Amino acid sequence: MFFETIPHGIGIAVAVTAGLASFPLVFHEPSVSWFNERFVTAEVPSAEEIQTFLEVGSWSWNWMEPPLGQISFFILCLQFAR
């Protein structure tokens, strides 16, 4: 029975990891800057505009919302299909 449950366990691990990774990729300034520098290359606001984690989230949400929204909709469709 162990081998039959491996795909289920992998799916849970990936979902939890992705969910936990989404928090620093939206609100943690060093993580957001790293991601922006390597993948997004959006304009970085001035230091006064990203002093708090909410301001960082406002900046990063410009590029994080489309993939998070699309993934959420895809998961919703999969749940509906099930």
Predicted confidence band of residue 1 (pLDDT cuts 50, 70, 90): confident
Residue 16: inside a domain: no
Residue 1: inside a domain: no
Residue 9: inside a domain: no
Q: In the prediction, which pLDDT does 62 show?
A: 87
Measured CA to CA, the distance from residue 58 to residue 62 in angstroms comes to 7
Residue 82: inside a domain: yes
Domain count for the chain, please give it.
1
Q: Is the pLDDT of residue 67 over 90?
A: no
What is the SS3 assignment for 14-68?
HHHHHHHHHHHHHHCHHHHHHHHHHHHCCCCCCHHHHCCHHHHHHHHHHHHHHHH
Residue 65: inside a domain: yes
Asked if 11 and 4 count as a contact pair (C-beta separation under 8 A), the reply is: no
Q: Is the pTM of this model over 0.85?
A: no
Q: Is the pLDDT of residue 34 over 90?
A: yes
Residue 53: inside a domain: yes
Domain of residue 32 covers 23-41+48-82
Query: What is the average pLDDT value for the chain, to the nearest integer?
Result: 90
For the beta carbon of residue 56, count every other beta carbon within 10 angstroms: 21
Q: pLDDT digits over 3-28, tens only? A: 999 999 999 999 899 889 888 988 99
